[in-house]
Amino acid sequence: MQTPSYVSLLAWTLGVLASQLLVEGRSIAPRQAPDSNTTAAARVKATELSSPFNGLTTFNSVDYGKCFRIGTPAVKDRYDIAILGAPNDLTVTGRPGARFGPGAIRAAASESDFGYSIFTGRDAFSQGAKIVDCGDVSLSWTDKQEAFQLLDQAHQRVSEKPAANTSWSQHPRILTLGGDHATTISALRSVHRVWGKVAVVHIDTHLDTGGSGRGLLLNYKDFDHGTVLHFAHEEGLTSDSSIHAGIHSAFGSAKDFEVDKRDGYEVIANREIDKIGASGVVEKIHKRVGQNRVYLSVDIDVLDPAYAPGTGTPVVGGWTSRELLTVLNGLNGLNVVGADIVEVSPAYDSPGKTTALAAAQVVAAFIDIMLARPAI
């Protein structure tokens, strides 16, 4: 008797299976997907689909705005506050990487808690204002002059449009995510076109009025993140009622303070907070700027590197995150027409992303300040 081969055995097995399927009236047609109405996906609540981790990564999942289009937008497409990314680090004098700041801040916002604040008694995102995220401006990463021309154009297109709710402001207020600190110049230019001169409340480790007395060079040779406020003053964008807070970096000489004063600034050194407290710092700022239109600019390196290591020029001895946020909460009532948070460089951040998380809270504080009173 011959032993059946492997092929014969396989053929016999398949024949038996086919016979059973025919007897039971079953077909060998491909399996069909179940009706989508019966799947678990159909039972997912709409609220679960609005997770901050779904769709485009905008700041705190606010609507994406097509802000850079030319012309007056339809009423439904207007907005009151525009969040704008400026991914530029062509002017840094320390460590590069701030071009990745806007994305890092948005990602950190997705992991942050925003809502009713026990400190302000408000929810910044539930005040009835239309807040949109415009995304990032497409900038040159090799040509400094071209990059700032593009950033100027983007700011101008956004700021000159009519606002959605004129009870907040006639024009949208822009909140810029840097980028290095030089990006502030484009914001100040657009603010000046719409609002005129502004008092700058500049919270930073460094003065950023370097280059005073050297004159304005149109080819941007001396323009960088450490000279931006001097250039802004020479262009006539800022008033003589501006103020620095949190300053603690070393300087070339005492003469730096003299030229800084000529650029219209008063200085609050960061250790003054130990003597007069955050409320004393807030009082000095209010007294200095009064009812002037105000532009807020925060360099994240004002924080001690223990709280914000992810920046290009960290300096030991800075404020804590709590001190910075307490000062910002005290600025409610200022006539704020624009703001920025700059110098977040995520490559140097901690594994817990403490720098980006702090920056996201600064953005929320800016929005709260802007909506605490109309811009006039």
Using an 8 Å Cβ cutoff, are 184 and 198 in contact? no
Strands 293-299 and 199-203: parallel
Residue 179 preceded by cis peptide, ω within 30: yes
Is residue 358 domain-resident? yes
In 3D space, the residue among 260, 263, 355 whose CA is nearest the CA of residue 310 turns out to be 355
Query: For residue 25, what pLDDT is reported?
Result: 45
Is residue 34 domain-resident? no
Dihedral sign from CA coordinates of 114, 117, 123, 124: negative
Is residue 137 domain-resident? yes
User: What is the spatial order of strands in the sheet that 81-86 belongs to?
Assistant: 63-64, 131-136, 81-86, 173-178, 335-342, 293-299, 199-203, 242-247, 265-269
In 3D space, the residue among 329, 339, 246 whose CA is nearest the CA of residue 295 turns out to be 339
- Predicted structure pTM score: 0.84
Is residue 28 domain-resident? no
In 3D space, the residue among 376, 226, 363 whose CA is nearest the CA of residue 294 turns out to be 376
CA distance 266 to 18: 91
Is residue 160 domain-resident? yes
Query: For residue 251, what pLDDT is reported?
Result: 81
Instruction: Going from the first residue of the chain to its last (376 residues), give the mean pLDDT of each consecutive group of 10, the final group possibly shorter.
Output: 54 55 43 51 50 76 92 89 95 91 96 89 89 94 89 94 90 95 95 97 93 48 82 94 96 83 95 98 98 98 98 96 98 97 97 97 97 89
Count of structural domains, the chain: 1
Query: For residue 341, what pLDDT is reported?
Result: 98
Structure tokens belonging to residue 33: 């997907």
Is residue 111 domain-resident? yes
Structure tokens belonging to residue 115: 């809502």
For residue 172, report the phi and psi dihedrals to the nearest 5 degrees. Answer: -60, 145
| Domain around 244 | 55-372
Is residue 14 domain-resident? no
- DSSP assignment of 246-305: EE----S-THHHHHHHHTTEEEEETTHHHHHHHHHHHHHHHHHHTTSEEEEEEEGGGB-T
Is residue 63 domain-resident? yes
3-state secondary structure of 128: coil
Query: For residue 227, what pLDDT is reported?
Result: 85
Residues 6+ away with beta carbon under 8 Å from 140: 90, 146, 147, 150
**DSSP classification of residue 311:** B
CATH number of the structural domain spanning residue 136: 3.40.800.10
